[in-house]
Chains A and B, each alone.
Chain A
Amino acid sequence: MSIRTWKAGLMAAGIMVLAATGASAQTLRIGLAEDPDMLDPAMAKAFVGRIVFTGLCDKLVDLAPDLKIIPQLATEWSWSDDNKSLTMKLRQGVTFHDGEPFNAEAVKFNLERSLNKPGSARRSEIVAIQTIDVVDPYTVRLNLSAPSAPLLAALSDRAGMMISPKAAQAAGDNFARAPVCSGPYKFVERIAQDRIVLEKFDKHWNAAAFPVQRVVYLPIPDTTVRLANLQSGGLEIIERTAPADLPTVRSDSSLKLEQATSLGYQGITFNMANGPRADNVLAKDVKVRQAFELALDRTIINQVGFEGEHTIGNQPVAPNNPFYAKTVPVQERDLEQAKKLMEEAGHGRVKVELMTPNNPEQLRVAEVIQALTGEAGFDVSVNATEFASGLDRQTRGDFEAFLIGWSGRADPDGNTHNFISCKGGLNDGKYCNPEVDAHLNAARTTNDLEARKAEYQKAAELYLADHERIYLYHQNWFWSLSSKVTGFKPHPDGMIRLEGVSVAK
């Protein structure tokens, strides 16, 4: 090899190194708590996948931090007078990552795909849609079988994500392996259990608002290791920082902390009528359940389980949610009243088996519950169960009380109807109060905010008095960021929206 070739080679290598450092300066690495499942918005089921979709796929509408629905691919929308059809005006000049145009036909294709594709996880969210009319190339009308106020909120999530019809048809069941959407970042590669890489889509309608060039999502399930990666400069953002790690983050000047109260809740589900295990005084006597709740101290539970870092509450939505029923606020612990109720009920000491996910935090919570209720006359035995088994037992009714929660939805319907209504698909305790159902159903039929609030309040007054489950607290999302990251806005849905986010060199 001549000296000249050597020199040329060295120069080329130098340029490559420079190019590589230039690119890495604009790379945002995000540590996720789990590995997402399939990257097809119609099929995906895991919460964590939604974080990746937020960079990859635009939605018809988006959710603001105050839970208001704001435009994204749809610029404006209106309901018909009977609330049975929703007309949406679409953004013009939007293209999918494969260069295909986004228009009303594409919306029709996507919604029909979500409704009809076998195994679609979105069908139940938008099942109210009966037909879809393409009014003109940029106007679409969704005709519903019955009014459905929660529909818009569903369209602010995976059901509203638009994928390229051409790519979807070409890929069939393999779409998830190389998803093609119209979001600010396009898919580059995925190595299962290791990383998902996205790259900036220069033709995005709002490309200027996304300074980061490359986004890498790295699933790192261990919270300590996730934080260690952030501290050592291997990541720029991590989601779901453990409450026990928060003092470390707060005291580290190279890090910063952002937080938001989640849309979900954690609590105790009682088996009210699901099979023979509901045959006990806890399920049958409301006084016993009321005593159980009065014996609990949510502040202590929060303190022992989570260093006091979560938000206590007593309803399916957090106290800062617009739909929180203010007429039935959180009650303080009242041990005397609890004891009195137990005496009136006259069952002596009541045995309760509390099924608990077998992670250290939840076990601590269960033990606090055991101690607190013990003083009021309950003998709680804690039964730690691996998550998948617990889910199975819950569905089959093989439990008395289950310490479990719900990840939450933007619309209160998503936190209530499925869990509390008599025929709710996730109502595993089989609680049933037709009056509650009437209010929950009524809240679906109107788009008037105040009228909906009133219905949810009436429902809450009824089901909270039944003590069919005990809502304990609402998890807070904790994102830890390198101080080099600017422009991050926390949202209650736990997503990482990349608009305006940039990484300083």
Chain B
Amino acid sequence: MLAFMARRLAVSIPTLVLISLLVFSLQLLLPGDPALAIAGDERTPEMLAFIREKYHLNDPIVVQYWYWLTGVLSGDMGISIRSQMPVTELILTKLPVTLQLGIMAMIIALAIGIPAGIISAVRKGSAWDVGANVVALSGISIPNFWLGIMLIMLVSVQWGLLPASGYTSPLEDPVRNIQTMIMPAFVLGTGIAAIMMRHTRSSMLSSLQADYVRTARAKGLSERIVVLRHAFRNALIPVVTLGTLQLGELLSGAVLTEQIFTIPGFGKLIVDAVFNRDYAVVQGVVLFTGTAFILMNLLADMLYFLLNPRLRA
């Protein structure tokens, strides 16, 4: 086990270096001079020279990378050129917001997707099944931003039930926090719920045909126990794998959802940083996300290792 982990960690480090190099060179391909983007209306020659000097924009790319790398290794990801806030601090304040959004969206996705999948598999061909499929297809096809705007118009403007956008910290006002997060989480969750539903359905359909289900039925077990305890448990395995994969989907979906609902999270941080050519923030966020993904994969591998005896051989 320890050797396995050590091996995986050793592979992770070059991956991270590669990611950072890739981001560094990719943003060089972004058209537009960051000094100009930052100076805006005030782009006097002195101002441009000052910005280039201060943020090492004049130095060769290798030197810039070196400054950044030594900073990161000592725990300093630099400061945002636009807001002058330390990148580490920005990331740490934005992360919990996106995590909350992601978790809420996942709960919504699971709460809708799995029951809908089971029901449409058990009642295959019924009006239920067709209806759930239509809803799921719409969930996959309707773009986040459209659904978001429509919900704002209906729920906030027409009915006045929820705030249209914005964010309140749960420490400040937990009720308001849920009120502001429920709509974006729903928008983000429905897309995933649809995928979940489709997978649960097909996975359930194949387990319902399995021999052990027939045996369970033959034993005279109630249909409820057959479906939930025998078929569903086995059908869940591919769904769980899919759920983990969807975490990445959640993060990228959060980018758009956070823009629409003006939620100051991770997604909004990186989009605004790209438009403002705030390189330090872009690099910091990408490095952080990359690290998080690698750690999550590592965790998943370890779980497989623990759960699947065949891997240990």
Identify the A interface with B (CB < 8 A): 35, 37-38, 43, 45-47, 118-119, 121, 123-124, 173-174, 176-177, 191-195, 218-222, 224-225, 228-229, 231-234, 386-393, 395, 406-407, 425-426
Bound Cα distance from A377 to B137, whole angstroms: 50
A234–B166 CB distance below 8 A: yes
B50–A232 CB distance below 8 A: no
Chain B residue contacts of A229, Cβ below 8 A: 156, 163-166
B163–A121 CB distance below 8 A: no
Q: Name the interface residues of B21-47: CB closer than 8 Å to any CB of A.
A: 30-33, 36-47
Q: Shortest Cβ distance from A358 into chain B, in angstroms?
A: 12
Given A192-B90, A234-B164, A391 and B37 contact (CB-CB distance below 8 Å): yes
Chain A residue contacts of B80, Cβ below 8 A: 192
Q: Which 10 pairs of residues, A with B, have the shortest CB-CB distance?
A: A388-B32, A194-B264, A389-B31, A232-B156, A388-B37, A389-B32, A193-B264, A121-B42, A228-B164, A229-B164
Say if the beta carbon of B259 comes within 8 Å of chain A: yes
Contact of B51 among A119, A177, A218 (CB under 8 A): A119
* Other contacts beyond A121-B47, A388-B31, A395-B36: 5, CB < 8 A: A43-B84, A124-B44, A192-B85, A388-B33, A395-B43
Chain A residue contacts of B166, Cβ below 8 A: 194-195, 218, 220, 229, 234
Say if the beta carbon of B68 comes within 8 Å of chain A: no
Which range holds the interface residue count of chain B? Answer: 35 or more
Given A193-B269, A222-B262, A37 and B149 contact (CB-CB distance below 8 Å): no
Say if the beta carbon of B83 comes within 8 Å of chain A: yes
Q: Name the interface residues of B42-98: CB closer than 8 Å to any CB of A.
A: 42-47, 50-51, 54, 80, 82-85, 90, 93
Bound Cα distance from A218 to B263, whole angstroms: 11
B50–A225 CB distance below 8 A: no
Given A38-B82, A177-B85, A395-B36, A225 and B43 contact (CB-CB distance below 8 Å): no
11 A/B residue pairs, CB under 8 Å, sorted by A: A177-B85, A219-B262, A220-B165, A225-B260, A234-B156, A386-B31, A387-B275, A388-B36, A391-B37, A395-B33, A395-B36
- The closest CB in chain B to the CB of A225 belongs to B165
Chain B residue contacts of A191, Cβ below 8 A: 93, 264
Q: Shortest Cβ distance from A306 into chain B, in angstroms?
A: 21
Say if the beta carbon of B152 comes within 8 Å of chain A: yes
Bound Cα distance from A297 to B152, whole angstroms: 38
B157–A228 CB distance below 8 A: yes
Chain A residue contacts of B152, Cβ below 8 A: 224-225, 228
Q: Shortest Cβ distance from A172 into chain B, in angstroms?
A: 11
Chain A residue contacts of B39, Cβ below 8 A: 45, 121
Bound Cα distance from A95 to B44, whole angstroms: 34
Chain B residue contacts of A228, Cβ below 8 A: 152-153, 156-157, 164-165
Chain A residue contacts of B47, Cβ below 8 A: 119, 121, 124
Bound Cα distance from A422 to B17, whole angstroms: 48
Chain A residue contacts of B275, Cβ below 8 A: 386-388
Bound Cα distance from A172 to B163, whole angstroms: 39
Given A221-B262, A225-B152, A232 and B40 contact (CB-CB distance below 8 Å): no
Bound Cα distance from A177 to B165, whole angstroms: 25
Bound Cα distance from A393 to B33, whole angstroms: 9
A177–B43 CB distance below 8 A: no
B264–A177 CB distance below 8 A: no
B36–A45 CB distance below 8 A: no
A388–B260 CB distance below 8 A: no
A177–B84 CB distance below 8 A: yes
Q: Shortest Cβ distance from A16 into chain B, in angstroms?
A: 12
Bound Cα distance from A287 to B53, whole angstroms: 44
- Interface bits B183-226 vs A (CB < 8 Å: 1, else 0): 00000000000000000000000000000000000000000000
Q: Shortest Cβ distance from A418 into chain B, in angstroms?
A: 9
Q: Shortest Cβ distance from A192 into chain B, in angstroms?
A: 5
Given A191-B93, A219-B262, A228-B153, A234 and B163 contact (CB-CB distance below 8 Å): yes
Bound Cα distance from A234 to B82, whole angstroms: 27
A225–B83 CB distance below 8 A: no
Say if the beta carbon of B301 comes within 8 Å of chain A: no
Bound Cα distance from A234 to B160, whole angstroms: 10
B164–A232 CB distance below 8 A: yes
- The closest CB in chain A to the CB of B263 belongs to A194
Say if the beta carbon of B249 comes within 8 Å of chain A: no
A388–B165 CB distance below 8 A: no
Bound Cα distance from A43 to B82, whole angstroms: 10
Q: Shortest Cβ distance from A278 into chain B, in angstroms?
A: 20
B272–A193 CB distance below 8 A: yes
Bound Cα distance from A426 to B43, whole angstroms: 8
Given A222-B260, A222-B262, A232-B157, A392 and B32 contact (CB-CB distance below 8 Å): yes
A220–B32 CB distance below 8 A: no
Chain B residue contacts of A118, Cβ below 8 A: 50, 54
A225–B261 CB distance below 8 A: yes
Chain A residue contacts of B85, Cβ below 8 A: 177, 192
Given A193-B269, A232-B157, A234-B163, A392 and B33 contact (CB-CB distance below 8 Å): yes
